[in-house]
Amino acid sequence: MMKKVFCIIVFLLSLVYKSSCIHCYYCNSANNSACIDLAALDDELRGRMIPVVQCETAIPSPVAVNFFCRKIVQTIFHSRQDSEVRVTRGCGWVRHHRECYRADNSDHLETVCQCFTDHCNSSDKIDPATNVALFLLLASVLYFVR
């Protein structure tokens, strides 16, 4: 009986989804050069140099919107000078059907990536599915060891 209850609890916990506000890095390398590579900064320095916003309050909307984090890398081509790379991190609200996509035209090349967990628009990629899989594996091991 105890094993059955344990299985039910583990199953129910695996279905829990955090439905709170999403927090994203918010910066533009045009006015903050630290925005280009967040992985190069330690946690303390990143916390002082790169703002984090709660999308639901940073971008007020009269309708319910499913916000997410976004990172845009643009290469801007100039006719009489070298190209310029600009990185923008912030909140998004209109989802694309692909996680990352590219757009280009005569004056710039752009790569846009969207993600759906807190602080995921840093240089690092965080996969929440890995955490769920590890949790389920640990729960299974604990279940069968007893």
In our burial notation (b when 16+ CB lie closer than 10 A, e otherwise), range 22-42 reads bbbbbbebeeeebbeebeebe
DSSP percent split of the chain into helix, strand, coil, nearest 5? 35, 25, 40
Confidence at residue 53, expressed as pLDDT on a 0 to 100 scale: 95
Question: What residue type is assigned to position 79 of the chain?
Answer: S
The topology (CATH level 3) of 21-123 is CD59 (2.10.60)
> What is the H or E stretch that residue 110 is in?
strand 108-115
Domain boundaries, the chain: 21-123
Full pLDDT tens readout for the chain, 146 residues: 666 665 566 555 565 544 458 999 999 999 999 999 999 999 999 999 999 999 988 887 767 678 999 999 999 998 888 889 999 999 999 999 999 999 988 888 999 999 999 999 885 444 455 555 555 655 665 566 66
Confidence at residue 105, expressed as pLDDT on a 0 to 100 scale: 86
Confidence at residue 124, expressed as pLDDT on a 0 to 100 scale: 45
Confidence at residue 10, expressed as pLDDT on a 0 to 100 scale: 58
Cα–Cα dist 22/72, whole Å: 18
Cα–Cα dist 109/112, whole Å: 10
Cα–Cα dist 93/116, whole Å: 11
Confidence at residue 60, expressed as pLDDT on a 0 to 100 scale: 76
> What is the H or E stretch that residue 68 is in?
strand 68-76
Cα–Cα dist 73/67, whole Å: 19
Give ∠ CA 15-5-134 in degrees, rounded to 5.
45
Report yes or no on whether pTM surpasses 0.75: no
Confidence at residue 132, expressed as pLDDT on a 0 to 100 scale: 57
Two tokens, residue 95 = 């989802």
Confidence at residue 126, expressed as pLDDT on a 0 to 100 scale: 41
Confidence at residue 19, expressed as pLDDT on a 0 to 100 scale: 45
